[in-house]
Structure 1
């Protein structure tokens, strides 16, 4: 595949349960609104992009990609190189209108439908899903430190070659897992883990604002993702499969890799 334009919409936070191939997953949309997954992307490379050019999500990039022969999921690609050209960013004007034009071309509302499409031969592994209702937001305690085998893996791979010593210096371990509980258009309930980088970064920001009080930080995260979003925002979930559970044909191999949350448009509002 030659250089193509991709609207980066998702960057997942690395978790100890992930396989090597999914240390860092970046995903987005092509110009026709179809999904594409890009991995691996070095964390140090993402950090440099943010520092040097202010790179953020919903930015168009131009990148040279190739299909992955070791991944049966059709959306999965790898960079031929990291000579990425940063193009224009899509903002939030007019209730995210321009973002919606790209990101909401194919929206699922039924769980059984996207689960069926994830099966062979289609093997769909990235979907946009509109829940009929968000019914809960939960969090559970997780290990406070990365597993030893995960630390060793991070030291061994060249993805982290720019990290001089401590492999946790760049990405600290979040000691919690976050979940959305929601219903589809038939009232079928699901509970899925949220692995979006954004929610984990929000936790660190809230912990800092709360002067290290974890309980207050968790409450602030819930206030945003449940209390605020469910009242003020129209929620779409970006779902992606992990290769491990997709290959095993798990009942539901998806996790939440991103949340798309434009403000709810008031009937009294005028288009700008």
Structure 2
């Protein structure tokens, strides 16, 4: 498929993971100017030049092509060295501009409908508005340290050169492994039709929240972490950006949290 110029609003960056080819990679997702969800891969985000790094809610321009080895409909390969950062859409009053842009994407209100659409071959990314968040499950990982193989990917990939072998390449920085996996338990439907689901949170912001709570509160990190994810964020107009895995496409992840304030109801006089 031809390489094309694309303009994409960034909605998601997942927590980085070790990669044999790129040292470490992040799955990036967003929407194009027509309101289509797109997945960009691979993006070794922390290792690319500073001027080509980008933020959530930022428009970027880059050359992309349909992924050759990933047949999910929204997956594109991005030419990292062509990335140009554009404006960042600020929240502003009541998230007005962000809401206007997101209005192009119709969210699902039940996860079963997302899975049905996947089975029909239509989607691998979707917006979901759950009825309510039930809680966060926190599970210690089996090994809190990187394996020798993972460390080799993280270090060797940065020293061997290749696609990102350039004079301004950042110095070697070993990725910190999260010692816990985090899952949202949530409910779709109401009353007798209500159904509970559980999906892993891989949003980079969730990982950053853990590290910030650990740094600021030490042994009391969990209380503050839960306060944010179980009370503060669910009190907003929360939407989950869902994405499935390439190798196991029936397995879905929560790749981003989008939580504007609730819109105020018009007062009656």
Bin the TM-score by the shorter chain.
0.7 to 0.9
**Alignment-derived partner of residue 72 in structure 2:** 73
Q: Of 251, 254, 257, which aligns to 1:256?
A: 254
Separation in 2, partners of 1:140, 1:20? 29
SS at match of 2:115: helix
**Alignment-derived partner of residue 225 in structure 2:** 221
**Alignment-derived partner of residue 200 in structure 1:** 207
Q: How far apart are residue 80 of structure 1 and its match?
A: 3.0
Q: Is the 8 A contact 1:3 1:64 kept in 2?
A: yes
Separation in 1, partners of 2:95, 2:171? 40
Change (3 A) 1:61 1:163: closer
Relative to the length of structure 2, the TM-score reads: 0.84
Separation in 2, partners of 1:67, 1:194? 26
Q: Is the 8 A contact 1:131 1:182 kept in 2?
A: yes
Q: Of 256, 263, 266, which aligns to 1:265?
A: 263
Q: How far apart are residue 255 of structure 1 and its match?
A: 0.4
**Alignment-derived partner of residue 237 in structure 2:** 234
Separation in 2, partners of 1:172, 1:144? 10
**Alignment-derived partner of residue 138 in structure 2:** 139
**Alignment-derived partner of residue 14 in structure 1:** 16
**Alignment-derived partner of residue 128 in structure 2:** 129
**Alignment-derived partner of residue 28 in structure 1:** 30
Change (3 A) 1:261 1:150: same
- Of residues 87-96 and 142-151 in structure 1, the stretch that sits farther from structure 2 once superposed is 142-151
Q: Is the 8 A contact 1:30 1:36 kept in 2?
A: yes
Q: How far apart are residue 244 of structure 1 and its match?
A: 1.4
Q: Is the 8 A contact 1:42 1:160 kept in 2?
A: no
Separation in 1, partners of 2:156, 2:40? 21
Q: How many pairs does the alignment contain?
A: 252
Change (3 A) 1:112 1:103: same
Q: Is the 8 A contact 1:163 1:170 kept in 2?
A: no
Q: Is the 8 A contact 2:184 2:201 kept in 1?
A: yes
Q: Is the 8 A contact 2:154 2:174 kept in 1?
A: no
SS at match of 2:86: strand
**Alignment-derived partner of residue 153 in structure 1:** 153
**Alignment-derived partner of residue 177 in structure 1:** 181
What are the within-5 Å matches in structure 2 for residues 17-96 of structure 1? 23-45=25-47, 48-49=49-50, 52=51, 55-96=54-95
Stretches of structure 2 that go unaligned for 5 or more consecutive residues are none
Stretches of structure 1 that go unaligned for 5 or more consecutive residues are none
Aligned alpha-carbon RMSD (Å) = 2.5
Q: Is the 8 A contact 1:134 1:230 kept in 2?
A: yes
Higher strand share: 2
Change (3 A) 1:187 1:159: farther
Relative to the length of structure 1, the TM-score reads: 0.83
Separation in 1, partners of 2:76, 2:27? 10
